[in-house]
Structure 1
Amino acid sequence: MACFLFFILLVLDQLSKCFIRMYMIPGESIPIVSGIFHITYVLNPGAAFGMLAHQRWFFILAGLFLIGVFFRFYPYWKRQCVWFRYGCISLLSGAVGNLADRVQNGLVVDFMDFRIWPVFNLADMAIVFGVASMIYAILFRMKEGEN
C-alpha cells in the first residue's frame, strides 16, 4: 500500500505539471473561481516562498539526501503507526516530484494559486501533508512499544 501511495502521488504530480507545461505559458493565469482560485503557471527557482532561489544543486543534493535517509530508516519507520509511516511516504513522494523538476530543468513548476498564498503544486501539498501527519503521529499516536 505504501508503494501504491508513493507512485499515485508522484504520477499525479508529474502529470499535472506536464499538463501545465504543455498547455500554458509561464505567467499565464486561468481563473477557476475568480479572485479565489486560479491556475497560474509559475517556474520556481527556489524552495517555499522562493527562498534560496537558483540554488539548484543544493536542492538536488538535499533531495538525494532525503531519499537516502528514507531508505536507511525505512525498516524502522514501517513498524511505526500508519500516520507516521504514510506521512514519510507522502513527504518522500513530494520531494521526489520536485526533485524530478529540478533535475530536468532546474526549476519547479507551480500552478495552484489561491491568491492569498504563494503558488504551489501537488508535490508541495504532499510534503506539507506528510510532515503534518508525522507531527500528528509523534504528538498524539506514537507511544513507546506501540505500532
Structure 2
Amino acid sequence: MNWVIPIIIFFDQLTKKLSETFLLEKNIKIGFFQLTYVENTGIAFGLFKDMALFHGIFSTLIVIFLFILKEKYKEKYKFFTTSFDLGIAFIIGGALGNIIDRIRLGYVVDMIYWPNFSIFNVADIFVTFGGVILLYHFFKRSKYGEKNV
C-alpha cells in the first residue's frame, strides 16, 4: 500500500493549491459545509498555534515511528494485512502532506469548514480515516485473533 502515500500527498497538495488560488477572496458554500482558505499555524482544531518547528519535528517523528512499526509488524507476523497497511499509509500520507506545508509555508492550509465543528484539509481526512482503519484492525485482531485479520 505504499503507492497510496504519494497519491494522498498529490491530492492534498493539489486541493491546497486550488484553495490558495480560488478561495482567498471568497468562500463557497456546499450543503452543510463551506470551502474557505485558512492558514493554520497550530494542530488539530487550531491548538498550539505558532509552533511550526515543533509541529514539523513532532510530525516527522511520528511518520518515522509509523514506518518502523509497519516494518516490525510485517516481520513479526510474517503476513501482510491490508487494513493495517492501509491505515498506516493513510496516516503517513496525510502527515507528510501537512509536513510539506509546514516546511514550505510555515503553516498548514485548511479549507473545509464544518460549522460548529472545525476546519480541516484533505490530509486531515486521511489521517482520521487511517486512525479509524487501525482501530478497526486492532479491534478485529483482538476479537478474532491475529490469524483472521
| TM interval, short-chain normalised | 0.7 to 0.9
Whether the aligned pair in 2 keeps the contact of 1:77 and 1:84 (CA below 8 Å) is no
Q: CA deviation at 1:146?
A: 5.0
Structure 1 unaligned residues grouped into runs of 5+ = none
User: Cα offset for 1:5?
Assistant: 1.2
State the 1:84 CA deviation.
1.4
Q: Does 1:120 align with 2:120?
A: yes
Unpaired stretches in structure 2, ≥5 consecutive residues: none
Q: Helix, strand or coil for the counterpart of 2:24? A: coil
Give the fraction of aligned pairs with identical amino acids, expressed as a percent: 28
Deviations 1:79-133 (A, max 9, x none): 4521111100000001000111111111111111121321110000000000110
Measured in 2, the distance between the counterparts of 1:114 and 1:105 equals 24
| Pairs within 5 Å for 1:1-147 | 2-25=1-24, 28-33=26-31, 36-78=32-74, 79-141=79-141, 143-146=145-148
Q: Secondary structure at the match of 2:50?
A: coil
TM-score (normalizing by structure 2): 0.87
Residue correspondences, number? 143
| TM-score, normalised by the number of residues in structure 1 | 0.88
Task: Tell me the amino acid that sits aligned with residue 23 of structure 2.
Answer: M
Q: Deviations over 1:14-34 (max 9, x none)?
A: 0000111122217x421122x
CA positional deviation for 1:145: 4.7
Offset at residue 71 of structure 1 (A): 2.7
Distance 1:7 1:77 in 2: 22
Q: Using the alignment, how far apart are the partners of 2:134 and 2:69 within structure 1?
A: 14
| Paired residue type of 1:44 | N
In structure 1, what residue type is equivalent to 2:140? Answer: F
SS in 1 for 2:38: strand
CA contact (8 A) 1:77 1:85 kept: no
